Amino acid sequence: MKDDLSGRAGRIGPNAVLQLLPVLEAAGGAALRDEMLDAAGLSAPPSDTGLMDEGPAAAMHRALRRRLPGRAPDLLREAGARTGDYILAHRIPAMAQRVLKLLPPALAAPILAKAIAKHSWTFAGSGAFRVVSTRPLVFELTDNPLIRGETAPHPICVWHEAVFDRLFQTLVDRRLRTREQSCSASGGAVCRFEIARS
């Protein structure tokens, strides 16, 4: 993945907000988009260059879950897929994408996982991300800033699931699906994701 920025505590990639804004506008017009910007403490969308404070991104995701609890998972999943599309278009070189697509999934998946771990600050912020295993493919995100302090009866990191889905389905195997096995919002010690064929 192309980027010369290095992670800093409390900073996250702006796509956590930017890719959600058109989804919000499509779902509820400019009024919903602006309401969520206001809930995040933002007077305007963040810059698409560099990193942003993770606080407003987390506040926007939290506000959406509270404002539209029934629709929020689908809206966040769509925003996560759009984030994956952005990464594919702007962060992973075309040659690297071609190579990954040519490799057998058993070889491509660990390579992509390593690249994701190297650049995890873009979606993990001040949290800690690690690849637990590659067979099966398991990721853990400790202290996920986008859900920090929230409680829910079930895992709620659908934005992350969708980002991983888009990348692995496009570059490794379209049959792969990400499932959040445990979530810190629902009592887990970490947010744990498993990526496997559905």
Domain that holds residue 180: 11-197
Q: Considering the domain boundaries, does residue 60 fall inside one? A: yes
Phi and psi angles of residue 128, each rounded to the nearest 5 degrees, phi first:
-120, 125
Q: Considering the domain boundaries, does residue 56 fall inside one? A: yes
**Which whole-number Å values give the CA distances from 53 to 30, 35, 149, 159, 169, in the listed order?**
23, 19, 17, 18, 29
Q: Considering the domain boundaries, does residue 65 fall inside one? A: yes
Which of these, 107, 129, 134, lies nearest to 117 by C-alpha position?
129
pLDDT in tens, the chain (198 residues): 433 333 345 999 999 999 999 999 999 999 999 999 999 999 999 999 999 999 999 999 999 999 999 999 999 999 999 999 999 999 999 999 999 999 999 999 999 999 999 999 899 999 999 999 999 999 999 999 999 999 999 999 999 999 999 999 999 999 999 999 999 999 999 999 999 998
CA distance 61 to 16: 9
Q: Considering the domain boundaries, does residue 170 fall inside one? A: yes
Q: Considering the domain boundaries, does residue 2 fall inside one? A: no
Q: What is the pLDDT of residues 23-77, one digit of tens each?
A: 999 999 999 999 999 999 999 999 999 999 999 999 999 999 999 999 999 999 9
CATH number at residue 136: 3.90.1520.10
Q: Considering the domain boundaries, does residue 4 fall inside one? A: no
Q: Considering the domain boundaries, does residue 175 fall inside one? A: yes
Name the one residue in this structure whose structure tokens are 């390593």: 114
Q: Considering the domain boundaries, does residue 103 fall inside one? A: yes
Q: How many independent structural domains does the chain possess? A: 1
